[in-house]
Structure 1
Amino acid sequence: MHTLVFATNNQHKVDEINSIIGKNIRVITLREAGIDIDIPEPHDSLEANATEKSSVIYQLTHQNVFSEDTGLEVDALQGEPGVKSARYAGEEKNFQANIDKLLSKLGDHPERTARFRTVVSLIWEGKEYQFEGICEGYITSIQKGTGGFGYDPIFIPKGSNNSFAEMSMAEKNQFSHRKKAIVQLIEFLQQQPVL
């Protein structure tokens, strides 16, 4: 069995990926790989931040590794918060403060289209590959639902009347930007001759 290090300590993400990745690969967290560092995200693009995270962990472990970076891009705010999504209202990564700031900046603007975008960076056998998943939708004027995390209470994906925070995980996965990128990652891995 091949081990793939996921540059995260979010066990929920790891469990979700392990449930769909197949029997020949085991995904482990940074903690399970014996790594306890906070990886910087200094760049102005999701692609560069994803590469930074996977590269740092690859240099430490010399194992196959992947990372992901996700941002919410609001058209009326010229793509904000984008790469700053987690720290939009400050370094403490306060979800509620981020939502409040976004809704305040957007005000009653009639143009509310937005998208979640995930970029996955995989370093496999020493070479980097990237995969992207996008979910189009729009920003509500009030918060709806109590599930999920981040901007889920104010984002309604195209094709639904419910916010991500009103959905079960199975419902959210029908639209999920992260799942779209991870599916591409899995399809790539399944094509590798060593598996």
Structure 2
Amino acid sequence: MMLRTLLILPAAMACLAAAPAKAPTSKAAPGKTATPAPKPAPKPAAPAGPFDATNPQSFMDLLAAAGAKLQTSRKEDDAVFVAVTSAAASFSMQFAGCTPQGRACKAVLLDNAMERGPATTAQMNAFNQTSVMCRIYQDRGGVAHVVYSAILFRSTTRDDAATHLLAWQGCLADGRDFMRDPIGYLANAA
């Protein structure tokens, strides 16, 4: 399911970008002037300046521009942990292989604890065999987590990072669908 979504996404984005914008229309009663429709609130601007995917702040800026609330929860020798709260989900990001200053990180792991569902360990293993990019595991407390990870390079662009975040959203959706109905999900998995 995730693969199909990722294959369709670029085509849908291209169609949306190529579609002409509709001119606003408002109908007024004869003899009355039309009042203009209120303008929508402006979207937050994308962060300006250079983008360095190996710096956790760059990913944090992308998520903040999308309206997420972020907090660096802790730093360890070579890791930075960030708590993220958004309209879609609350999750954590762990940047690994970082310098002691929390920069030049080698990878990021996005993790979401999921609500309990009827999935068995065997079904979770089957999910992992059908998903190219997402994994589900069960922690020591028996809570299922969906995770997505990516290797980071200084050459990773802002668009590349945004694509990772879109893939993560797909993992969240697939994980929720799976946990709601593991048998049905696996029956339809590619």
Higher relative contact order (CA 8 A, sep 6+): 2
TM-score higher than 0.5 here? no
TM-score by length of 1: 0.29
Question: If you compute each CA radius of gyration, which structure gives the higher value, 1 or 2?
Answer: 2
The structure carrying a bigger strand percent of its residues is 1
Q: TM-score, normalised by structure 2?
A: 0.30
